[in-house]
Structure 1
Amino acid sequence: MRSYPIRPAGPVAPLAALLLLLGAASPAVAADGGPDRDFTIEDPRITESSGLAASRLHPGIYWTHNDSDDGPYVFAVDSRTGKTVATITMRGIGEPRDVEGISIGPDGDIYVGDIGDNLDGTWSHVWIYRFPEPKALRDATVTATQYDVQYADGPRNAESLMVHPKTGRVYIASKNEGGGGLYAGPDKLTTGSMNVFRRVGEVPWVTDGAFSPDGRSLALRSYFSARVYDFENGRLGESRAVAAPFQRQAESVTYTADGSALMFGSEGARSGVVRVEVEGGRQEKGEQKEKPSGSGSPAAQGEDDGDGKGSVGLGAVIIIGVGALWFALRRRRGEG
């Protein structure tokens, strides 16, 4: 098995660098000893956690992975302790390029999205890997199936892979500062031929997403905020803001296995995962609001929560200022 050195995170965009500096001043997230609560990923090998998926077989366990240049590895982290309890090595696949998303299907298989493309069109195709969730939590090497994926409207960058928990259809949300798209795969993924994903909806800048266990809601997050969309018949419906925590580099989100909360993760060494309650297991329109359970400050939502306090606070001011500075730097670079 590969021996992992302790390494710093790779180069980050100006925005991400500023978020890392600001996040360093935030209170650390600490576990309270219970499953599915706030926790810190303790494994020094996991410095770029880019996706989260709640285990279907092992309560309180979350699957995660690093992104680019890490290899064919997936980690099972215990939310009670923050410690890695299993490292899975995928064999039978090519060399992963930029793994950005993870999800579990209704068949109990783990789907891993090697879908990152930071140059927006460098790769003519990307890959999805799939293997059954292990019944025992121990280090193991598993044979994974590899699927070739293309987008009907051309290559693009993406960080969000979601498998619908009822239909098993795979969805990808592309990432673009001007807004991305939600792409649906074929009814079933196949090997030996290209799997074409077609645009079925418009989404904001997305760094990760997850379906609720009943498949009726789709949560999408970005660096700045998060929204939950009604989802029916393969289409996005009405959406509402979620009080996402303010994190150093907001990269991941998943529902707890029982659908009672969202778990928000971040990149970085000893990165925190923060639980945000979803009252009743699924927020009803106009009735309930999600609230963080941990120490993360709510991210700016760009709208009021209905009590006049939704987007007001230090976190909102900081994020808006950082965003303005980042876009100004990009504009200046483009003019230079």
Structure 2
Amino acid sequence: MIRVLAAAGLAGAVVFAGPVAWADGDQPLFTFKDRRITESSGLAVSPTHENVYYTHNDSSAGPVFFAVGSNGRTRATFTLRGAAARDWEGMAASKDPQTGQGVLWFADIGDNFDGAWPDVSVYKVKEPTALRDATLPAVRYRFRYEDGGHNAEGVMVNPRTGRLYIVSKEFSGSVYAAPKQLRTDRVNVLRKVGSAPIMATDAAYAPDGSSFVIRTYFSATVYRAPGEQIARMSMPQLDQAESITYTPDGKALLTGSEGVGSPVYQVPLPDRVLRETAPKPAPTPTTRTSDAALVADAKTKEDAGVPPSTMALWLVAAVGATGIITFIARRTR
């Protein structure tokens, strides 16, 4: 992949500008056209709007996120009411199992000093039903780690259980699980449930909950469960790999980078991963049960298949034998 980078008009930003030559099979799915998207740090696919993707900037950008179409153009901009953006580092999308409504989660979990903040926050927002600029109410959940402060950039939600997880960004990273029931009236405790690759920058659950992926600057690792690795995948070369999520069908990953005009790539999952995460067939009767049924059926057929003449012959033989035995017994008294 050959890219020519130009300096951005915004301080500290990177612009992906022409001329750009992409190797075969290395073409991005789209690039962000909105110059306000300077540090795309989180990425999620809309649970209810087809071909809509959500992203947000990193720190110092306000509690704002963007709905982007498959052509990379912004379709709507949303501001969260009652939220702050100290260091937004990731987002996730899920569905309310009772209503089917989309739910978006924004993780203000960056902590470059590994414990400078007494707690971190994740904001929960109902996905907008209309794609037009609006201000949305947010619910804030505060968290602290059971083993002290950590810098983190990955957040994901298990679609089967609704449980939220945070993945720390460290040389010895970890996966932390939030309580099953989140509380707004107190700080929720995050408990370590597994390890994470070095310097994890994002994470996401597969749409069916069968697995999850953790992104680093260099690769992505797919897990069946915390601590149960399936495969490690190479990723497209990016200047600063920041985000990852699944396509709606769960057969590929989407990954992005920071910078104005940054690309989003679609990376198919290897066949091995698809096989290992495919739904298992419905359980069938066990072999033992089937064998018992076959034996019983054979016995029934055997009994039912004895001719009447044979049964009469057996009866005559039994009566004759009984008479002979009785006669002998009387003579021997």
Q: TM class by shorter-chain length?
A: 0.7 to 0.9
- From 44, 53, 73, the counterpart of 2:35: 44
Find the aligned partners of 1:186 and 1:206 in 2 and give their Cα distance.
22
Would you say how many aligned residue pairs link Structure 1 and Structure 2? 264
Equivalence for 1:127: 121
Residue 9 of structure 1 deviates from its aligned partner by 3.5
CA separation of 1:150 and 1:187: change in aligned 2, threshold 3 A: same
Residue 102 of structure 1 deviates from its aligned partner by 0.4
The structure having more radius of gyration, on CA atoms, is 2
The amino acid across from 1:271 in the alignment is S
Equivalence for 2:203: 209
Alignment of 1:293-312 (within 5 A): none
TM-score between the two structures when normalised by the length of structure 2? 0.73
- Partner-residue secondary structure (3-state), 2:200: coil
In the alignment, is the contact (CA less than 8 A) between 1:179 and 1:203 conserved in 2?
Answer: yes
Find the aligned partners of 2:245 and 2:181 in 1 and give their Cα distance.
23
Task: Find out whether 1:180 has 2:173 as its counterpart.
Answer: yes
Find the aligned partners of 1:53 and 1:26 in 2 and give their Cα distance.
26
Task: Find out whether 1:171 has 2:162 as its counterpart.
Answer: no
Structure with greater helix share of residues:
2
CA separation of 1:203 and 1:23: change in aligned 2, threshold 3 A: farther
In the alignment, is the contact (CA less than 8 A) between 1:9 and 1:48 conserved in 2?
Answer: no
In the alignment, is the contact (CA less than 8 A) between 2:154 and 2:202 conserved in 1?
Answer: yes
Residue 27 of structure 1 deviates from its aligned partner by 3.5
- From 7, 10, 23, the counterpart of 2:10: 7
Residue 282 of structure 1 deviates from its aligned partner by 5.3
CA separation of 1:43 and 1:224: change in aligned 2, threshold 3 A: same
Task: Find out whether 1:56 has 2:47 as its counterpart.
Answer: yes
- From 73, 77, 80, the counterpart of 2:68: 77
| Deviations 1:206-260 (CA, angstroms, capped at 9, x unpaired) | 00011101111111111111111112xxx33123111311111100000011212
Equivalence for 1:196: 189
In the alignment, is the contact (CA less than 8 A) between 1:260 and 1:281 conserved in 2?
Answer: no
Find the aligned partners of 2:9 and 2:133 in 1 and give their Cα distance.
19
Equivalence for 2:217: 223
- From 71, 78, 100, the counterpart of 2:89: 100
CA separation of 1:71 and 1:211: change in aligned 2, threshold 3 A: same
The amino acid across from 1:269 in the alignment is V
In the alignment, is the contact (CA less than 8 A) between 2:156 and 2:205 conserved in 1?
Answer: yes
The amino acid across from 2:86 in the alignment is R
TM-score between the two structures when normalised by the length of structure 1? 0.73
Find the aligned partners of 1:190 and 1:201 in 2 and give their Cα distance.
23
Equivalence for 2:329: none
- Partner-residue secondary structure (3-state), 1:283: helix
Structure 1 outlier segments of 4+, above 3 Å: 20-30, 279-282
Find the aligned partners of 1:238 and 1:179 in 2 and give their Cα distance.
16
Residue 189 of structure 1 deviates from its aligned partner by 1.4
Residue 22 of structure 1 deviates from its aligned partner by 12
Q: Taking every aligned residue pair, what percent have the same amino acid on both sides?
A: 46
Find the aligned partners of 1:23 and 1:55 in 2 and give their Cα distance.
27
Task: Find out whether 1:154 has 2:148 as its counterpart.
Answer: yes
Q: Structure 2 unaligned runs (5+)?
A: 1-7, 97-101, 279-333
- From 235, 252, 262, the counterpart of 2:243: 252
Residue 28 of structure 1 deviates from its aligned partner by 5.7
In the alignment, is the contact (CA less than 8 A) between 2:47 and 2:94 conserved in 1?
Answer: no
Equivalence for 1:323: none
CA separation of 1:217 and 1:248: change in aligned 2, threshold 3 A: same
Aligned Cα root-mean-square deviation (Å): 2.9
| Deviations 1:269-306 (CA, angstroms, capped at 9, x unpaired) | 1000000012679523599xxxxxxxxxxxxxxxxxxx
Equivalence for 1:329: none
| Deviations 1:171-221 (CA, angstroms, capped at 9, x unpaired) | 000001x22000000002110111110010011120001110111111111
CA separation of 1:48 and 1:22: change in aligned 2, threshold 3 A: closer
In the alignment, is the contact (CA less than 8 A) between 2:17 and 2:261 conserved in 1?
Answer: no
